[in-house]
Each structure stands twice: as structure tokens, then as C-alpha cells.
Amino acid sequence: MKANPILRDWEHLLQFLPDNMTELAKTSGAVKRWRNITTGEELLRINLAYVVEDLSLRSTAGWSSQSEMAEMKDTSVLHRLKQSVPFLEQVLAHLINHRIYGEHANGSSFSIKDASILSVPGSTGTDWRIHATYDPQYSRLSRVEVTDYTGGERLDRDHYLTDELVLADRGLARAKGLHAVAEENAFSLVRMHWMNIRLQDSNGGSLNLESILARADAGDEQTTVYIPAEGKKPLQARLLIRPLPSEKAEKAHRNVRSQAIKKGRTPSPIALKLAGYFCLLTTLPEKIASADLVFELYRIRWQIELFFKRCKTLLHLDQLRADDPLLVRAYILGKLIEVVLITLLTTEGESFSPWGVPRQRRSAPINMEASAFASY
């Protein structure tokens, strides 16, 4: 069997992991009594063998025997993996909170929100979602949540820091979430979703889109708008519209027509016209960010798309191998642990000292009610 760095260099990886994994396994309910496997460390290694090497249950049991950990049957491996979910959640929370000491940078926090869908074997729809918060400054996850298909994309899943800027795509552009961000004195920048958000002018009336688009064609890209929400004062925001290049606009028009045909509909004239523009909605005041700067900031959102692409292409995050909910959840959590461990190893390499100066690390206390990780 091909050697794997996570297994071969296990002693090195232990510096990133919780010191009390055996206790965590018991207190989380993942283990009621030790049998075959005797420590939390062994439980995690069994999971990583199954996930990182993509071994079958029988091969995982064989690997356990060869590694001189425990004599196990494939049914025992299956039981341990399914029961390990709460333990893996806490290990992942610890890893996401893990940092190398450094000076805090001045300025506001910056995060990108997105969700990636996963399907079980034989399915072509959405079965699971990974809701991620990505820190573009350090190219790392800062929060992650795993839900089944019922867990929709929402900005109000999280709490935000004062003056934090949150970037998100159209799927998260909803009035309730934008209000939730503003109520915590943070700012949002999202791609406008005309079907999800109703915008008003200063008098509470509907926007004159024809006039706004005509101004955008003339170079006047910015319009002050208000986002209403039930039981709340309308939230002031800026609508920024920039015409697409002709070839991009034609492609967007074809996509709108194609999607309408698939649904047995005829696209409206205004929907076709809007497809030829790039529309952003932000609560950032103009004194903080000009229109040009807002468009440039939104480019950074692509980093989370590249992050998910790397995870799926290189680490096969999307290749679920079971449909049992607990086993699927254990597999996803194991993959995310692999992702974060790789990030920590990369960071360690960047801070390597040829003179042998020891690295200082910390792991922030885990609050499972508002932690770096939650799963339900």
C-alpha cells in the first residue's frame, strides 16, 4: 500500500491536534466504551485512513491491523466512523481555531461566504452543502458548517465583527441576511439577485430600472437604494451597475434564453436586458470605497471558488462514497480535517526558521454555540 504523509509523519501532525482527543471522544459521545480502538488518536487515524486514502471499509480494517492499532472487522470500522461525527466536529473546530502567533494587522476584517453542494452516489441533485467562510488574507477557512439539502444559504447563519466586510455571490443575496450583517455593524458586498431582493427608492417606491440602466450606459454607475425587510427599517445600500462587454453580454443573453426554455418559460424583456449588466449591491459607504474600488474588491470573491475547486479536484471532496447520512457526514468532516491540516502545514513551511527558533502557536477556546464550526 502506498505510504501517505499523514500516516507516515503522524507524530509531526500531532502538534496541531487537540491534546485531549481521548477525552473529546468520550465527552462528545463518539465513544461509549473503548473496544478494539483505545484512544481518540486511533479513532482519528482510522477516519483519516478511510477518507484520505479512500480505502474501503474492509481495507481500512486491514490497514488498522497492519498499523498495529487494532484487529477490526469492516462492520466495526463502519460503526466507529458513524459514531465519530461529534468527535470529528470538535477536532475540526480546534484546527480551524489553530493559529501561529503574529501581530494583528490594522484595519477591518475581510471574509468571503459561499456554499458548495455535494451529491451522494447515483444522485444528480443537492444532497449536502458545505457552508464556508474563507479568509482571503491568509488563504484559509475561518468557519465551516455541514448541512443536508435542507440547509439553505444564508448570511444570518453567522456573527460578524464590527466593520467586517463580507463578500458573497447571488445565492446569499437576500434581504434578511443583509440586514443581519448590518445589525452587527458590519458591511456586505454581494452580487445582485433581482429575483431574491426587492429594492426601493428613498420614497419607498419601486426603482425605475430603465432609467438606472440608461444612466449606467452613460457612465453613472451608482444608485442609492433601500432594502426593505419585514418589521425593520429599510437598509440603505448602493446599487452599482456596469455594462458587460458586448461578447459577454451576448453570452449572458443566450444563457437566460436557454434557462427559460428548460423551464418552459419565455424570458421577460427586462430580464434579458439586465443580463447584459454586472450588478453589485453593497452597504459600504462611498467615503470608504468608491464604485471602482467596490468592483475591484468583488474580484477577490473568486478565491473561495478556487478553494473549492482545489478541494474537489485534488482532494476529491465531492466524491462521496456512501448515502448513509452519518457515514457521509464523517467522510466530509474527515476531508475538511485533511484540508485544514494541509493549510497548517503550508503555513508552518512559510514560517520555518533555519536557525531553529521555535514556533509559537495558539488555539482559541472553542465555543460550540458560536464556534468556527457547527453542524446540524
pLDDT in tens, 300-309: 999 999 999 9
CA angle at 118 for the pair 112 and 124, rounded to the nearest 5°: 135
Three-state SS at 8: helix
pLDDT score of 368: 38
Which residue matches cell numbers 477556546?
365
Any residues with CB less than 8 A from the CB of 162 and at least 6 apart, and which?
A: 184, 185, 186
Q: Cα separation of 376 and 373, whole Å?
A: 10
- Residue (of 97, 124, 86) closest to 18 by Cα position: 97
- Written as tens digits, the pLDDT of the chain (376 aa) is 455 554 567 888 888 999 999 999 999 999 988 887 889 999 999 999 999 988 999 999 898 888 778 788 899 999 999 999 999 999 999 999 876 444 455 556 889 999 999 999 988 889 999 999 999 988 888 999 999 999 999 999 999 999 999 999 999 999 999 999 999 999 999 999 888 899 999 999 999 999 999 999 999 999 999 999 999 999 999 999 999 999 998 998 899 888 888 888 888 888 888 999 999 999 999 999 999 999 999 999 999 999 999 999 999 999 898 889 999 999 999 999 999 999 888 877 766 666 555 555 544 444 433 344 444 3
pLDDT score of 262: 86
CB 208 within 8 A of CB 216: no
- Residue (of 363, 350, 355) closest to 101 by Cα position: 363
End-to-end CA distance of the chain: 35
pLDDT score of 256: 87
For helices 40-52 and 85-97, give the axis angle rounded to 10 degrees: 90
* Residue 67 burial by Cβ neighbours in a 10 Å radius (0-12, 13-18, 19+): middle
Q: How does strand 110-118 pair with strand 128-135?
A: antiparallel
DSSP state string for 159-214: ---TT-EEEE-GGG--HHHHHHHHHTT-EEEEE--TTT---B-TTSPBP-HHHHHH
The predicted-structure confidence for 142-201, as pLDDT tens digits, reads as follows 999 999 999 999 999 999 999 999 999 999 999 999 999 999 999 999 999 888 899 999
pLDDT score of 370: 37
On the CB side of 320, how many CA atoms lie within 13 Å of its CA?
24
pLDDT score of 105: 54
Q: Cα separation of 74 and 57, whole Å?
A: 5
Domain parsing of the chain, residue ranges: 5-100+316-375, 110-307
CB 235 within 8 A of CB 155: no
Instruction: State the DSSP H helix or E strand holding residue 215, giving kind and residue range, or none if neither.
Output: helix 209-217
